[in-house]
Copies of this chain bind each other. A is one copy, B any other.
């Protein structure tokens, strides 16, 4: 999606260790009207997926997932992180590793809000190695629900998580795919829109 690539070029900040900061519009400060444009793309891409629910992870996936949910008229469920959750005892859990924060964490979703009849659309802001998405997929599998699509705003193609998921047959669609980033700037690959 050219609009997103342009915004990344304009406002993204590349740090060392493969870190791209887009916290001026996506995941700290949020440009809500811009996110609506990304969400409209997701709504179009997944309009025939017949999802019953959108799943994401706190905190940075929530704004984008809710924006997409508005177009698709679906409920959102966000996985809560860490043992500090007050979700209750009757939960699905999975663990994931955050490379950004170099820590393991748990993800929890109340069993009340995900069931075997659900067709799940996963939405998240970033995909790198795919750890967070894998944890969500594990929860969906435990719930015997089905994943009908995965929508990502920014995929770091060079970290391989997206390729592995596509190879396994997931309908993963990313609005911007970064092939490399460094002193030469950001090189985008073929995005799904």
Residues of A near any B CB (own CB < 8 A) = 19, 21, 23-24, 28-33, 35-36, 58-59, 62-63, 66-67, 69-70, 73-78, 80, 84, 86-88, 98, 100-101, 103, 109-110, 112-113
B29 touches A113 (CB 8 A): yes
- The residue of chain B having its C-beta at the shortest distance from the C-beta of A34 within the complex is B75
Partner of A63, one of B76, B87, B110, B112: B76
Partner of A59, one of B70, B78, B100, B103: B78
- The residue of chain B having its C-beta at the shortest distance from the C-beta of A53 within the complex is B29
Partner of A78, one of B28, B84, B87, B88: B28
A70 touches B32 (CB 8 A): yes
Give me 20 other A-B pairs in contact (C-beta within 8 A), A33-B70, A59-B78 excluded. A23-B110, A23-B113, A28-B87, A29-B77, A29-B113, A30-B62, A30-B66, A30-B69, A30-B75, A32-B76, A59-B59, A62-B63, A62-B66, A63-B63, A63-B66, A66-B66, A66-B67, A84-B98, A84-B101, A86-B100
A103: chain B residues at CB < 8 Å are 84
Secondary structure of the A contact surface, majority rule? mixed
> Would you give 12 A-B contacts (Cβ < 8 Å), ordered by A?
A19-B86, A21-B88, A23-B87, A24-B112, A24-B113, A30-B77, A32-B69, A36-B70, A58-B58, A58-B59, A59-B59, A59-B62
User: A-B pairs with the 4 shortest C-beta distances?
Assistant: A58-B59, A59-B59, A30-B76, A29-B113
A143→B124 CA distance, assembly (Å): 31
A109: chain B residues at CB < 8 Å are 28
B76 touches A101 (CB 8 A): no
A77 touches B32 (CB 8 A): no
A77 touches B28 (CB 8 A): yes
